[in-house]
Amino acid sequence: MRVSSILKVVAGGVMAVVAMTAPAGAFAQGDTVLKPAEVQKLLPASVYYKGQSATTQLRNSGGVKFADGAFVLTTLVDTSGYATDVAAKYQAYFITETPIKVGGQSLPAGIYGIGFIANNKFVVTDVGAHELFTVASGEDAGLKRPTPLQVVADPAGGFRLYAGRKYVVFSR
């Protein structure tokens, strides 16, 4: 075998290993899952929802930066000043700069309130607390280190938004 042929085989093997170890969707699309420290630089300390200002829990945040530069960002909020029925549905602030699908439902670019509610459901509301849609959520018993909120790549494509072990899948 010639040296150039050997180098081609080695390069092909290295590329195959890199492709297999990259997170699902990240290698092909160039999308990046953001950590709380990265999201903290982008989100404010408090946000508006249903006529009030709520303090954000930036240590409990996550997001995605898509290959084209568009963001999806989310952070838990302190809902202590809200009515019980509103606080039950409004657990996090959710911003998307691009249309996405959440649990199969279309969600246009915008700012929303989100929450995991009873009966394995995930609810999306507008900033006036009007319910837009509810989808089924999953529970990941195998999640090794559940946190109050995190975003990770979904093995089947897209991303998972977790609150503890509960999650919903979103994608473009």
H/E stretch holding 140 reads none
Q: What is the pLDDT of residue 63?
A: 98
**What's the total number of domains in the chain?**
1
Q: Which stretches of the chain score pLDDT less than 70?
A: 1-29
Q: What is the pLDDT of residue 12?
A: 42
Q: What is the pLDDT of residue 96?
A: 98
Give pLDDT tens digits for 39-58.
999 999 999 999 999 999 99
- 65-96: burial string, b at 16+ Cβ within 10 Å, e else: bbeeebbbbbbbbebeebeeebbebbbbbbbb
9: in domain: no
Q: What is the pLDDT of residue 81?
A: 87
1: in domain: no
10: in domain: no
Amino acid at 107: L
Q: What is the pLDDT of residue 2?
A: 56
Distance of CA 154 to the CA centre of its chain: 10
What's the token pair of residue 25? 């969707």
Specify the 3-state DSSP secondary structure of 113: strand
Give the domain range for residue 106: 24-171
